[in-house]
Amino acid sequence: MDHTTQAKQQAAKAALKYVEPGMILGLGTGSTAAELIRLLGEQVAQGFDITGVPSSDQSAQLAQELGIPLSSLQESPVLDLNIDGADEVDPQFNMIKGGGGALLREKILAQSAKRNIFIVDQGKQVHELGAFPLPLEVVPFALESVVIQLQQIDLNPQLRLQNGAPFKTDEGNAILDADIRGFSDYQRLNSRLLAIPGIVETGLFLDYVDVLIVGNLTGAGILENPK
């Protein structure tokens, strides 16, 4: 197993300690979140009682295969806890998410949770955001128009592809990956992006972290956000 996977597993293992019986738990998307879902599956098989609300069809499928009872956000609109991964996190707990294309549902779950824990391997910690392109979820009808507007502010948007065709999110939208290097006022950038009609959501997750768990080869560091 490679070192990054080991670090992701350590982060997931540390997060498991925050999960209490009877919780309605938001299940993130991506390989780190999948590590957590696998661990939860083992716990559920031993009689642990939780209900998961998945942030993607992919996570729903994995949880279902492992026998984790599932609910939907419609049935369970308030989550006790949400646990998800991230693509980048800076020292102020600002994050880029959406590498797996689930940013819209992920942000909705994060917003619906009483508490949010993000689990990352140490390679995700950065001084400033932007080496990882910022995913933007865009309504297909508006795609070309949004591309032009993003080009005008030098964000060099790239249409995300999958097997040669435009990537389609679980909500049926497209993803544009934008180059935000050089921008440091993330709140302002986020507001500016969300003001463009057709951009449904951005992968900038600002003010969402309650606890950040950073996995390494042998364990995990716990960082509480003093917000």
Ligand X SMILES: O=C(CO)[C@H](O)[C@H](O)COP(=O)(O)O
Residue 138 makes contact with ligand X by CB under 6 A: no
3-state secondary structure of 29: coil
Binds ligand X by CB under 6 A, chosen from 41, 52, 54, 85? 85
Is 35 a catalytic site residue? no
The answer to the question of whether 28 is labelled as a binding residue is: no
Question: Looking at 106, 144, 171, 224, which residue is catalytic?
Answer: 106
Binds ligand X by CB under 6 A, chosen from 5, 31, 112, 156? 31
Q: Residues 6 or more apart from 133 whose CB is under 8 A from it?
A: 158, 177, 178, 179, 180
Strands across the sheet with 116-121, in order? Answer: 51-54, 24-27, 81-84, 116-121, 211-215, 220-224
Residue 103 makes contact with ligand X by CB under 6 A: yes
Binds ligand X by CB under 6 A, chosen from 15, 60, 87, 138? 87
Residue 110 makes contact with ligand X by CB under 6 A: no
Residue 102 makes contact with ligand X by CB under 6 A: yes
The answer to the question of whether 8 is labelled as a binding residue is: no
Binds ligand X by CB under 6 A, chosen from 10, 24, 84, 204? 84
Total of chain residues touching ligand X, rule CB under 6 A: 18
Residue closer to ligand X by CB (options 119, 146) is 119
Handedness of CA 74, 80, 86, 89 (dihedral sign): positive
d(CA 161, CA 176): 9
DSSP 121-182: EGGGB-SSS-SSPEEEEE-GGGHHHHHHHHHHTT---EE-EETTEE---TTS-EEEEE--TT
Residues making contact with ligand X (CB under 6 A): 28-33, 84-87, 97-103, 106
Annotated binding site: 29-32, 84-87, 97-100, 124
Residues taking part in catalysis: 106
